[in-house]
Amino acid sequence: MSLVLELPRELETELEAEAAELGLPLPEYVLRLLAAGRGPSPVPRTGAQLLAYWHDEGLVGTRTDIAESSAHARALRDQAQRRARP
């Protein structure tokens, strides 16, 4: 099905920026937004379900700035442990 929408320029600019941030073409990003708004999905209960969800949402591989995920996770954990507590 094909659908043509006239969007306010401000909304179009926001959507373009969000799509670019995720490295997605605008039509694919808008399609994902529409699909996500159809209703809540079941909450992932296992690591495998969460990874499948991230994959379906196109999030896997979007953080090209992270060369090694386990080293990044260790750095985040160390940073959190050194954080001052109120």
Provide the domain limits for residue 27: 7-40
Q: How many domains is the chain partitioned into structurally?
A: 2
Amino acid at residue number 85: R
Residue 84 DSSP symbol: P
Per-residue tens of pLDDT for the chain, all 86 residues: 888 989 999 999 999 999 999 999 999 999 989 888 776 678 889 999 999 988 888 888 888 888 898 999 999 999 999 987 76
pLDDT of residue 9: 95
- 3-class secondary-structure state, position 6: coil
pTM above 0.75, yes or no: no
The DSSP result for 9-72, as a single string, is HHHHHHHHHHHHHHT--HHHHHHHHHHHTT-PPPPP-SHHHHHHHHHHTT-TT--TT-S-HHHH
Residue 83 in domain? yes
pLDDT of residue 64: 87
Clarify whether residues 33 and 55 are in a common domain.
Answer: no
Residue 26 in domain? yes
Clarify whether residues 12 and 50 are in a common domain.
Answer: no
pLDDT of residue 37: 79
Residue 34 in domain? yes
